[in-house]
Amino acid sequence: MQTDKQRPSKRYKNKIYYCPISLAMDLIGGRWKGVILYYLLLSEKRFCELKTVIPEITDMILSIQLKKLEDDGLITRTVFGDKPPLKVIYKLTPLGERLGPALEQLSVWGLTI
């Protein structure tokens, strides 16, 4: 761990963070973002597939969280077709994939509680 004098600030999306945990929690904090990212680690998924593996989440909250994760550059949303029903696939970006080891460790830790 760094001392206070060694901690440089970090700018991400026009916001300055003085602690790396603050940045991380801004991106993945909350009840559902980590869960969504965890399931996308396994494979890309459609909205209905995410809803199936996370049955407690409402459609509206899932939609909002997916949009936030996309805005933060952690996932991509790819739309196939131009007429309904559209096929929409969500998958991790390289930045999102770098969260893999941390999410897996959180999962292991969660199993030990």
2, part of any domain: no
pLDDT at 60: 97
Percent of the chain with pLDDT over 70: 95
- CATH number of the domain residue 93 falls in: 1.10.10.10
Q: What is this structure's pTM?
A: 0.86
35, part of any domain: yes
- Rounded to the nearest integer, the mean pLDDT of the chain is 92
Give me the domain span that covers residue 47. 31-112
Torsion angle defined by CA atoms of residues 44, 89, 60 and 49, in that order, rounded to the nearest 10 degrees? -50
Segment 69-96 shows an average pLDDT of 94
pLDDT at 4: 58
pLDDT, tens digit, 9 for 90 and up, residues 35-73: 999 999 999 999 999 999 999 999 999 999 999 999 999
Contacts of 59 by beta carbon, 8 Å cutoff, 6+ apart: 51
7, part of any domain: no
